[in-house]
Amino acid sequence: MFFFYPVLYSFLSMITALYVVSSKKNKIIDLVVLSIILLSYMYLVPLRPSDAGNDTALYINAYTKLYDFNSAYEVGKSYFGNTEPLFWPLSFVLKMIGLSAAQFIAACGLISFFLTYNSLKLQAEILRCDRRLVFFSLAAMLFTYMSVYYGNHVRASLAVPLAFMSVLYYIKRDSVKAVLFFLLAMSFHWSSLFIALYILIDKFIDTEKKIFIAYLLSCFTALVSSFVINELGSILSFFPQLSNFKDKVELYKSGTVASELTSIFSLSSFWAIFIVASIFILYRDPKNIRVRKLSLLFLILVMVFSFSPIMSVRYFSFLYVTSVLGFTSVFVNVFGKKVALMLLFLLFIILSFVVLTSESVRYTLGLN
* d(C-alpha 294, C-alpha 349), whole Å: 26
Picking from 234, 231, 233, 224, the residue whose alpha carbon sits closest to that of residue 304 is 224
Q: What are phi and psi of 198, to 5 degrees?
A: -60, -35
**pLDDT digits over 184-235, tens only?**
999 999 999 999 999 999 999 999 999 999 999 999 887 776 666 555 555 5
Which H/E stretch holds residue 330?
helix 316-335
pLDDT-based confidence at residue 98 (cuts at 50, 70, 90): very high
* d(C-alpha 278, C-alpha 213), whole Å: 13
CB 160: neighbour CB atoms within 10 A? 31
**pLDDT digits over 254-277, tens only?**
444 444 556 788 888 888 899 999
DSSP H helices in 97-254? 101-127, 133-141, 147-149, 154-171, 175-188, 198-204, 208-236, 243-254
Question: On the CB side of 38, how many CA atoms lie within 13 Å of its CA?
Answer: 17
**pLDDT digits over 311-368, tens only?**
888 899 999 999 999 999 999 999 999 999 989 988 888 887 777 777 767 777 766 6
Apex 153 CA angle, 354 and 89, nearest 5: 165
| pLDDT score recorded for residue 133 | 94
Q: Which residues contact 348 (CB under 8 A, 6 or more apart)?
A: 9, 13, 140, 143, 144
Q: What is the DSSP secondary structure assignment for residue 195, as one 8-state letter?
A: G
| pLDDT score recorded for residue 352 | 78
| pLDDT score recorded for residue 1 | 53
CA-based end-to-end distance of the chain: 11
Burial (CB count within 10 angstroms: exposed 0-12, middle 13-18, buried 19+), residue 231: exposed
Inform me whether the pLDDT recorded for 5 exceeds 80. no
Task: Please answer whether residues 280 and 330 qualify as being in contact, where contact means their C-beta atoms are separated by less than 8 angstroms.
Answer: yes
**pLDDT digits over 276-310, tens only?**
999 999 999 888 999 999 999 999 999 988 877 88
Mean pLDDT of 15-40: 86
| pLDDT score recorded for residue 258 | 44
Query: What angle, rounded to 10 degrees, do the helices at 289-304 and 268-282 form?
Result: 150
Task: Please answer whether residues 309 and 259 qualify as being in contact, where contact means their C-beta atoms are separated by less than 8 angstroms.
Answer: yes
Between 362 and 110, the more confident residue is 110
* d(C-alpha 116, C-alpha 298), whole Å: 17
Going from the C-alpha of 35 to that of each of 29, 117, 138, 163, the distances in angstroms are: 10, 12, 12, 25
**pLDDT digits over 140-192, tens only?**
888 778 877 877 889 999 999 999 999 999 999 999 999 999 999 999 999 99
Picking from 230, 161, 191, 158, the residue whose alpha carbon sits closest to that of residue 311 is 191
- 325-364 in b/e form (b: 16+ CB < 10 A) is bbbbbbbbeeeebeebbeebbebbbebbeebbeeebbeeb
Inform me whether the pLDDT recorded for 44 exceeds 80. no
Q: What percent of the chain has pLDDT over 70?
A: 83
- pTM for the model stands at 0.88
Q: Which residues contact 47 (CB under 8 A, 6 or more apart)?
A: 106
**pLDDT digits over 335-350, tens only?**
999 999 989 988 888 8
Question: On the CB side of 75, how many CA atoms lie within 13 Å of its CA?
Answer: 20
Q: Which amino acid is at 314?
A: R
Inform me whether the pLDDT recorded for 245 exceeds 50. no
Task: Please answer whether residues 143 and 355 qualify as being in contact, where contact means their C-beta atoms are separated by less than 8 angstroms.
Answer: yes
